[in-house]
Chains A and B, each alone.
Chain A
Amino acid sequence: MDCKEFRESLDFYADGELAPEAEAAARLHLNECAACRRAEAELLRLRRALKRTVAQHQPPPELVRRVEALIGAHRPHRLWQRRISLPAPVFALLLVATLLVGLGVASLRRAPPGKQSASVQPEQKPPAPAPAPQGNLDLARFDHGERATIYKVRRTQAGDAQ
């Protein structure tokens, strides 16, 4: 390889793009030619200066955060962090179904106790009313599991009054 050939292929040599035989020939020429060595050194110096110049700029931290957030926003969340999205008709149906169930439960609760028990146990006779307490309530009876009896007695009395 002579000086002319070397200067024409200096880019490829410096960039490692020469075929192995051509690269060997170029290296051989460099060993013999001081002027071409200087030309190559100048090209490498330009490359170093370019790297230094470009390296001066650092990405601002807010850009890094912004890009990370961008990816985070598009990344799937963990199962318990995921949003559930439903098509509008499905959502409306679910809402109506929930309302109907809620109304049904509420109407069952409002139904009179007699009617409710009749629908469940039609042949069951109402329990015999407990003897009405005489005079003031005997609070000592609360300790013997008779609270329910007192309640029923009071309800029955209220029903009789109506």
Chain B
Amino acid sequence: MWLSRRRRARQFEETALPHLADVYRFARQLADEEQAQDLVQDTYLRAWKYFDSFQAGTNCRAWLFRILHNVWTDRFRQSRLELSLNEQSETAIEPYYDWEDEFMREELSAELEQALAQLPEAYRWAVLLADVEELSYQEIAQVMDCPIGTVMSRINRGRRTLARLLRATEQSEPQAEHKRSS
């Protein structure tokens, strides 16, 4: 019994702890620094508590993000309500008709972070899980506890909304420059 508990602790250190930086970076896109630290701490506490339910050989990062999602929804229940209202407008995939003109500059980090912050949280979760964490749609559906169809539309809408916000930033910047110079 004691030996198996020792093994469990070592397994947790080897499997779950290495993803702490990823979980923190993700949490930082959802909350400020202090709240992000709390989210990570609660996530790992819960992960340790329920580590027996983790199936060895499956994606531990996806499992941790699922816990983070639960911790986050428990903590910010108001956001959950906001999601369910947005959910009603999620229907079809919007095709990428206007993506051949370049709207992305490589050095757009600050603007992109600002745009991300404006993105509805359900879209932000889906886009970050797909683009940054590179989870499959199936894994994202498990993390966010929703059907795959919803994941698809959230990723699609999230990316398109981000692009629109960035385009708006790009267009407003030259105008501001023009006003300053005139």
> Contact residues of A with B, CB < 8 Å?
4, 7-8, 10-12, 15, 17, 35-36, 38-39, 42-43, 45-60, 63-64, 66-68, 70-71, 74-76, 79
Contacts and interface: CB of A to CB of B under 8 A. Distances in A.
B41 A39 contact: no
A76 B9 contact: yes
A47 B131 contact: yes
A35 B97 CA distance: 10
A57 to B, nearest CB: 4
Contacts of B33: 60
B128 A54 contact: yes
Given A39-B100, A76-B9, A63 B132 contact: no
The range of chain B's interface size is 35 or more
A113 B60 CA distance: 75
A63 B131 contact: no
A37 B9 CA distance: 48
B74 to A, nearest CB: 18
B44 A4 contact: no
B55 interface: no
A63 B35 CA distance: 12
Contacts of B162: 46
B5 A63 contact: no
A53 B128 CA distance: 11
Contact of A42 (B25, B104, B116): B104
A68 B45 contact: no
Interface stretch (B13-21, B82-90, B174-182): B13-21
B166 to A, nearest CB: 8
B131 A75 contact: no
Contact of A56 (B17, B109, B136): B109
Interface centre among A7, A64, A67, by most chain B C-beta atoms within 10 angstroms, is A67
Nearest to B2: A76
Contacts of A63: 20, 24, 37, 40-41
Interface string B19-39: 011001110110001000100
Closest 8 CB pairs of A and B: A39-B99, A59-B24, A7-B95, A38-B100, A75-B9, A57-B28, A45-B104, A47-B131
A147 B12 CA distance: 69
A71 B13 contact: yes
Contacts of A50: 112, 116, 127-128, 131-132
B152 interface: yes
A63 B116 CA distance: 24
